[in-house]
């Protein structure tokens, strides 16, 4: 890894890229993570003893939520010492500071679910294929991979693509399917990050999103014939190991 990129990761909290404003005195509050509670949770198996890995887990917000959902067998890996130290201060001892490529060595058939949330955009193409090959081997048969990444098809997708100096890639539903199929995954689904309704304000945001994107959807369908579109800045992808 280039020194400049490692330096940025080492200062991910200091530079504000982690997106956290968590209070160490109060710690995590589940209601602050509606996306995990109302979206991610529904893509997970019901069995609570499955083995889950969160790669590039940051300061551990998803791991905290998974524990609140009742999952017991969770690991998290991140390369940013700043974020790992914050996770430990917040009581998440399941998180280690380690290079993810090194961690995945000799982990064949080890995990039921592997999360790659906001990580694949940081990798060049050689690193990307190397990581996904290792992730594939680390999943159990019919295991699930959950990805969150910038959407190049999104109306404001370039805001995310160029919002971090360490970003190398951006994807569309078509290119992410190409990538995952070539690495052996199947049952690939791409989901739009619509506003999540959890109160009056978010309800109006949702209505505005549906209403104001409708003309763009019609125009896109007129040109391409594609009805199912993903126009949010980021997208969520799930796939399974054959």
pLDDT in tens, 184-237: 999 999 999 999 999 999 999 999 999 999 999 999 999 999 999 999 999 999
Q: What's the pTM?
A: 0.94
3-state secondary structure string across the chain: CCHHHHHHHHCCCCCCCCCCCCCCCCCCCHHHCHHHHHCHHHHCCCCCCCEEEEECCCCCHHHHHHHHCCCCEEEEEECCHHHHHHHHHCCCCCEEECCHHHHCCCCCCCEEEEEEECCHHHCCHHHHHHHHHHHHHHEEEEEEEEEEEEECCCCCHHHHHCCCCCCCCCECHHHHHHHHHHCCEEEEEEEECCCCCCCHHHHHHHHHHHHHHHHHHHHHHHHHCCCCCCCCCEEEEEEEEC
pLDDT in the model for residue 213? 97
Q: Which fold has domain 3-15+23-241?
A: Rossmann fold (3.40.50)
Mean pLDDT calculated for residue range 34-57: 96
Mean pLDDT calculated for residue range 71-81: 96
pLDDT in the model for residue 18? 83
pLDDT in the model for residue 10? 86
Determine what percent of the chain is predicted with pLDDT higher than 90: 88
Tens of pLDDT, residues 79-118: 999 999 999 999 999 999 999 999 999 999 999 999 999 9
pLDDT in the model for residue 209? 97
Mean pLDDT calculated for residue range 25-38: 93
Per-residue confidence band for 22, with pLDDT thresholds at 50, 70 and 90 = confident
């Amino acid at each position: 890894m280039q020194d400049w990129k490692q330096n940025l990761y080492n200062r991910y909290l200091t530079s504000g890229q982690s997106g956290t404003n968590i209070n160490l005195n109060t710690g995590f509050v589940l209601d602050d993570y509606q996306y995990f509670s109302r979206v991610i949770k529904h893509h997970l198996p019901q069995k609570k003893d499955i083995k889950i890995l969160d790669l590039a887990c940051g300061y551990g917000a998803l791991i905290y939520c998974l524990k609140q959902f009742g999952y017991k067998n969770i690991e998290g890996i991140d390369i940013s010492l700043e974020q790992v130290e914050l996770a430990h201060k917040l009581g998440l001892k399941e998180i280690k500071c380690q290079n993810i490529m090194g961690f995945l060595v000799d982990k064949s058939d080890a995990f039921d679910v592997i999360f790659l949330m906001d990580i694949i955009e940081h990798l060049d193409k050689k690193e990307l294929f190397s990581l996904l090959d290792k992730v594939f081997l680390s999943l159990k048969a019919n295991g699930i991979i959950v990805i969150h990444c910038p959407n190049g098809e999104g109306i404001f997708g370039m805001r995310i693509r160029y919002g971090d100096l360490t970003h190398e890639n951006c994807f569309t539903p078509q290119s992410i399917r190409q990538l995952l199929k070539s690495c052996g995954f199947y049952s690939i689904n791409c989901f739009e990050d619509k506003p999540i309704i959890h109160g009056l304000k978010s309800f109006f945001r949702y209505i505005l999103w549906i209403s104001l994107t409708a003309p763009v959807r019609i125009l896109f369908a007129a040109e391409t014939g594609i009805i199912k579109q993903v126009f949010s800045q980021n997208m969520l992808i799930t796939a399974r190991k054959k």
